[in-house]
Amino acid sequence: MAANNARSLYSIALQKPPSSIISLNTAVGAMPINDINNTLLLCPDENFLLVDEQGNKLFNIKRNFKVSDICFSSFLEQFLILSMEPDDYTLHSLDPSTRDLKQITKSDKIMWTCTCFNTIFIVSEAYKDSGSDIAVYDLCQGWTPIKTFTPPLSCKADHQIEKIRFNNDGSRLGMILRQKRERTYQYWFELRDSIDMTIVVKTNINPDGDTWCWLLALPNQQFLATLQRQKTFFLFNSNGQLQETNRYDYSVRFLNSVALLSNKWLVVQTWKPNELRFHKL
């Protein structure tokens, strides 16, 4: 636990039993929020499923690709989806009002993670086991990057960006990075300037043999990260420093991801059992 003994709203909510639980047949962690109408996009096997804050299913459409990450663009009013198939790495869009799912562009690199703020869309991509690039798009100008950061500006040549998220005011980026070791990966958190990608602070947390799997931007420029096997949440403050650590002590085997819905619910996705757990803030 960090030096600040005051417990956050998130810690208090996670220590209480969930208000409701929905069974979900998926191990895919991606579940972005449509912050216009407070709905949640899920990725059950071979489908996209949209639910509201009561867990009601709004629509369910087929997909034929694996998902690596998703974000929601308030500017486009669409979900932007990265697919990860061998030798087929594609950016898709999904319009929740028309349910239109379409391809936007392809890449010869693995598109790992993405994030949006206003008109700016950022994708981190890399060849296997090489350093990640950061491609920056202005959605007013189409689907050609206006700027690309490559190693060493994006990260070191032997590092990869696992997750990237704008904070809630767009001034900073939170990132989870990794470096391959002999048999495992070393992971850490970085807070970056969102314009020039300079590192504001690096926070080393080295869970032995475990996997970081999700990063969520919160109000007040905070970030919440999840650790899969140890079922642990890490709360980082606006300065990128570790503020709080919480174990998720419920009877689940893996912790997949987390979403903040309507600023009222912390929605936790677990694997084995495959469930959505709604914790009231």
pLDDT in tens, 222-233: 999 998 888 899
| Three-class DSSP category at 38 | coil
- Amino acid 4 reads N
pLDDT in tens, 22-36: 888 776 778 888 888
Distance of alpha carbon 214 from alpha carbon 224, whole angstroms = 8
Reported as half-sphere exposure (CB side, CA atoms, 13 A), residue 13 has a value of: 19
| pLDDT, tens digit, 9 for 90 and up, residues 35-61 | 888 999 999 888 999 998 888 889 999
pLDDT of the chain, 281 residues: tens digit per residue: 444 567 899 999 999 999 999 888 776 778 888 888 899 999 988 899 999 888 888 999 999 899 999 999 999 999 999 998 777 899 999 999 999 999 999 998 989 999 999 999 999 999 877 899 999 999 999 999 999 999 999 999 999 999 999 999 999 999 999 888 777 788 899 999 999 999 999 998 766 667 777 999 999 999 999 988 888 999 999 999 999 999 997 688 888 889 999 999 999 999 888 899 999 99
Closest CA to 33 of 93, 4, 74, 90: 74
Residues linked to residue 85 through DSSP beta bridges, in sequence order: 88
The phi and psi torsions of 221 (rounded to 5 degrees) equal 60, 25
Q: What is the pLDDT of residue 208?
A: 63
Task: Give the burial string for 5-38 (b: 16+ CB within 10 Å, else e).
Answer: eeebebbebbeeebeebbebebebbbbbbbeeee
The tokens of 152 are what?
């060493």
Beta strand ranges found along 127-264 (DSSP E): 133-138, 147-149, 159-166, 172-180, 185-193, 199-204, 212-217, 223-227, 232-236, 242-247, 254-261
Rg (the chain; Cα; Å): 18
